[in-house]
Structure 1
């Protein structure tokens, strides 16, 4: 069974994801909702009035936090 945690965060640097086999896409700076599982993270944000989501490996998300491109919590 996988446990999940939902937290608020802010994108403050270059954070990208790949949609399927397509190119890397940038998540815009601003507030996001983060749903963390054991091995993956789903980010949800609003852009032009639309709710968008991206799934990335947890190890990649941890690197974004270490690089200070993602800040946990709201500011």
Structure 2
């Protein structure tokens, strides 16, 4: 069984994801929600009134946290 945790966060720097086999897409700076599982992270944010979602590997998420591009909590 996989455990998940939901956290409020903020995109504070360059964060990108790949949609399928397409190009890297940028997540805009601002508030987001994070759903963490054991090996992946799902980010949800709003852009132009639309809710968008991206999944990234946990190792990439950890790098974004370390670099300060994703800040946990709201601020």
TM-score by length of 1: 0.99
Residue of structure 2 in register with 1:18 after alignment: 18
Residue of structure 1 in register with 2:64 after alignment: 64
Aligned length, in residue pairs: 75
Q: Unpaired runs of 5+ in structure 2?
A: none
| Segments ≥4 residues shifted beyond 3 Å | none
Give 1:14 shift.
0.2
CA distance in 2, matches of 1:69, 1:50: 22
Pairing of 1:42-61 with structure 2 (within 5 A): 42-61=42-61
Give 1:32 shift.
0.4
TM-score by length of 2: 0.99
Equivalent position SS for 1:64: helix
Residue of structure 1 in register with 2:27 after alignment: 27
Equivalent position SS for 1:20: coil
